[in-house]
Amino acid sequence: MVMLKDSLQARERIRGVTHYTPLMYSKTLSEMSGNEVYLKCENFQKTGSFKIRGAYNAVSHLSDEQKARGVVTGSSGNHGQALAYAASLQGVRCVVVMPEDASLAKIAACKGYGGEVLLHGVTSEARLDRAQELVENEGLIMVHPFDNPHIIAGQGTISLEIMEQLPGVEYILAPVGGGGLLSGVAMAAKEVCPSLKVLGVEPAVGPRLRYSWDRGTVSELERWSPSVADGLRARRPGKLPFEVTRKYVDDLIQVEEQEIIDATKLIMERVKLVVEPSGAVTAAAVLARKLGAQGQNVVCVVSGGNVELAKLAKIIG
């Protein structure tokens, strides 16, 4: 199990590499939701998303022998970009297996950070299976995007910052893909402040964590549709995130595709932030008043802003 000390140590490892991202109050979202809403802007983070926190922490834990072999992962884009950047900073080869429908912007960025890109499949599981083949055939070291204790510990540094920036925070909402972000955020927040509520938000077309929670074990969705939130397409959560979230997360919220689109558009138009749909799911939950509370200090983790403008224009019409 990942512990608070792991996130505290991760914070020191990533210091000077990652940004201490801003926490922005939104009057518009607050008035529309009935809560005091703040956005933790990981779209301003290095590589455009929160992923660099965990990726750099994970690579820095590798031995010299492991670094010499190189690393590999499966990613819709953000983890791949972050891992490529983290690896380049430490002189490590990085191969990223991305989905066949990955945005051109994410592919170009991944290559720009020094990563070697392979396109395969659409789901998280397909990408990771291909990455595992490279582990077996080429001896690369797998850096899993969410089922890795160093990744989770790195993501937990987000909560450490939030609690410094807003000591009176009462709710933190984080997106759910494979569960790595939510795990780190929840663990760090609850270990420091047990009364703080932490909620996960996942697309209603693919509620993989809720599905597993309800069955009491990691389970793959029987029915699944690709969400507009393309960073949240895992069909099952990681084993470690499943265990951590069961211990620390208060509840899970599901948001519909149109709610995600509307939130993405609103944040761009009214808050003036470029966010990808995966990063807007937390705001979508708040705007749809699915929190089940009013008048609370709520922080929505905006997980990233890596989105191709042509694709964004198509999404929001």
Strand 71-74, strand 141-142: pairing: parallel
Tokens of 199: 């909620």
As to burial, measured by CB atoms within 10 angstroms (0-12 exposed, 13-18 middle, 19+ buried), residue 292 is exposed
- 299: which strand partners? 38, 172
Tokens of 140: 């690369």
Confirm if 72 and 50 have CB atoms less than 8 A apart: no
Whether 7 is a known active-site residue: answer no
The catalytic residue among 51, 106, 190, 311 is 51
Confirm if 120 and 127 have CB atoms less than 8 A apart: yes
CA dihedral 284, 288, 293, 298 (to 10 degrees): 20
Residue appearing with tokens 């430490």: 90
The catalytic residue among 7, 49, 103, 303 is 303
Whether 227 is a known active-site residue: answer no
Tokens of 39: 């956005």
Active site residues: 51, 303
